Amino acid sequence: MKKQVVLKNLCSFEPQHIFECGQCFRWEREEDGSYTVVARNRVINVCKEKGFIVFRNVTEEEFHDIWRGYFDLDTDYGQIKKTLSEHDRFLKDATEYGSGIRILNQDLWECVVSFIISANNNIPRIQGIIQRLCQQFGDRLSYGGKTYFTFPGPERIVGDLSFLRAGYREHYIKNACETFLSSNFSDIAALDTDSARKKLLTISGVGPKVADCILLFGLERREVFPVDVWVKRCLNSLYGEAMKTKTPREFAVEAFGPLAGFAQQYLFYYMRNAGFDKTGGMKHA
């Protein structure tokens, strides 16, 4: 039987925007332009064809139980973009540029490890390290004649990790496993955002930026605003005066409130992909 779900009339959904806006590292772009991802211990393939969104390797039941939540389909992104675009011209351009972005609701543990690995690192290498981790410790899955691997839990990541070639992050990964297994992290989802952040910061290798990524992508805290070098550059060049008296995070919380996390994603995607240079100006202007 063919396992697929097709959606019509779904606005604000572009696989490329979703997977290439930096929230997720485990995707593959296929020859046909579709994206294949491993999440929730399953393989899924997504593409947009003539306005239809096609989810392959998914039953109706799985779609409702798992993927509707994962792809954040119950959130009205049209309204979010409208609100943000009223803030200023740059946000308006950014929301148009990344109009199909959605914030994925990812696994907490996967976010912890992935964003620890992301610190002071580049994307191809981050993806390589994660790939090797999953290949070594994850469960094997197959789809379309190819092999995929689930993301391993902390209890599975054992022994020598030098094959990961993660450098000094290797130690952080081991530490995160121990922390997750020994202290009680299962209740973190019930904590308020500041308490959850404090708890995340106890993991070595998790600083403010990584903690905010985990909160935003792994704990559905959309009011947080991860500040990386790109976003910092962006805020400084756009809102220079206002930035003198506030930290970037304070500024964002004030400016975007509960939508800060969405704003961050639109800004990040726009800055990284629309041809801006490191000063916040245009590359070829």
Radius of gyration of the chain (CA): 19
* Residue 60, token pair as written in the block: 């109706």
124 sits near DNA (criterion: CB under 7 A):
yes
Is 23 a binder of DNA (CB under 7 A)? Answer: yes
Contacts of 10 (CB under 8 A, 6+ apart): 53, 73
123 binds DNA per the rule CB under 7 A = yes
Cα 284 versus chain centre, distance = 29
**Contacts (CB under 7 A) with DNA, residues 91-120:** 118-120
Is residue 209 annotated as part of the catalytic site, yes or no?
yes
Instruction: Report if residue 228 touches DNA, rule: CB under 7 A.
Output: yes
Q: Give whichever of 83 and 121 is closer to DNA, judged by the CB atom.
A: 121
Minimal distance, residue 109 CB to DNA, in Å: 17
What is the closest distance, in whole angstroms, from the C-beta atom of residue 206 to DNA in the complex?
Answer: 6
Say which DSSP state 141 is in: E
How far apart, in whole angstroms, are the C-alpha atoms of residue 35 and residue 71? 13
Is there binding between residue 284 and DNA (CB under 7 A)?
A: no
State how far the Cα of 101 lies from the Cα of 103, in Å rounded to an integer.
7
Cβ nearer to DNA, comparing 82 with 283: 283
Question: Which residue number, 120 or 245, has a Cβ lying nearer to DNA?
Answer: 120
Q: How far is the CB of 77 from DNA (least distance, A)?
A: 18
Q: How far is the CB of 52 from DNA (least distance, A)?
A: 27
Q: Which residues contact 47 (CB under 8 A, 6 or more apart)?
A: 15, 32, 33, 34, 35, 53, 54, 56
Kindly tell me which of 56 and 221 has the beta carbon lying closer to DNA: 221
**Pattern 190-209, binding to DNA, x per CB under 7 A?**
-------------xxxxxxx
**Cβ atoms of 14 and 97 closer than 8 Å:** no
According to DSSP, the β-strands at 4-7 and 52-56 are antiparallel
Does residue 25 touch DNA according to CB under 7 A?
yes
Q: State in Å, rounded, how far the first CA of the chain is from the last one.
A: 53
Q: Summarize as ranges the residues that interact with DNA (CB under 7 A).
A: 22-23, 25, 118-126, 128, 162, 165-169, 203-211, 213, 226, 228-230, 268, 278
Positions annotated as catalytic residues are: 209
